Amino acid sequence: MSAVYRTDDGFSFDLTDFERAAKRLINERAPRDMERFWRTQAKGILREIIKGTSPGGRAVHGVAAKRRGEMALIADVHKVVEGAPKRAVEETDVNAVVDAARNSRGRTKRRDRKIKVPRGAIRPAIAERKKRVGKLADGWGAAAKELGVRVPAWQSRHRSPGRIDITATRDGVRIVATNQVRYASEHGSLEKTIQRAIDAQADKLDRQAQFLIEQAAKQSGFN
């Protein structure tokens, strides 16, 4: 039977493999502290989510992710505005113009006719926009702090909104981390990022359980 978790924002995550792998490892290891066990699983999942949240990706992390985010923001500016002499200027606030061109999912569409801005205003605007890189990923910051996940300074500098709820249950603990950045739920890749993180943790649990099984077999003389 599949185990699907649905959020209030309309995301859905398949926990079937994760729950199966967790039960398998619990059967092999019999953890004494179930709360600690589930916190460890949440920590592993969250670590992968943070690595994969934009500007990060499946194969782009750390400084490379920061650089990719900066390049994307620079490209956004050049999609919308172009430098012009004073007499031809239409708008002076470059960042306001670029922000207005972004849709609800944070995407910036290239304009057929770019808005003319002061030539000297583009470079400072780009420098300011670079400071925004990592804001979405830091929406996981509250959960990261509670679970002991280290995040790079270029993310944690933002103090983005987020929360973590930890509730005791009969089986141990229920942990729900929430990214409360305004556009988080509309970001196209976030749902896939979270599902990949859940699946990756399931794979880790399977490997751990298999290792214990093989060790037990060796000790019993069956291998």
pTM of the model: 0.85
Instruction: Give the residue numbers spanning the domain of 107.
Output: 64-130
Q: Which of these three, 130, 165, 185, is where a domain ends?
A: 130
Look at the chain and report how many structural domains it folds into.
2
H or E element that contains 75: helix 62-80
Considering the domain boundaries, does residue 83 fall inside one?
yes
Determine contact, residues 136/184, Cβ cutoff 8 Å.
yes
Residues 94, 203: one domain?
Answer: no
Q: How far apart are alpha carbons 61 and 150 in whole angstroms?
A: 13
Rounded CA gap, 177 and 118, in Å? 43
| Same domain membership, residue 96 and residue 72 | yes
Q: Model confidence over 66-112: pLDDT tens digits? A: 999 999 999 999 999 999 999 999 999 999 999 999 887 778 888 88
| pLDDT of 198 higher than 60 | yes
pLDDT of res. 76 = 95
**Does the pLDDT value for residue 189 go beyond 60?**
yes
Banded pLDDT at 170 (limits 50, 70, 90): confident
Longest dimension (CA), the chain: 87
Write down the pLDDT at residue 201: 96
Q: Is residue 40 part of a domain?
A: yes
- How far, in Å, are 17, 24, 130, 204 from residue 195 at the CA level? 11, 20, 28, 14
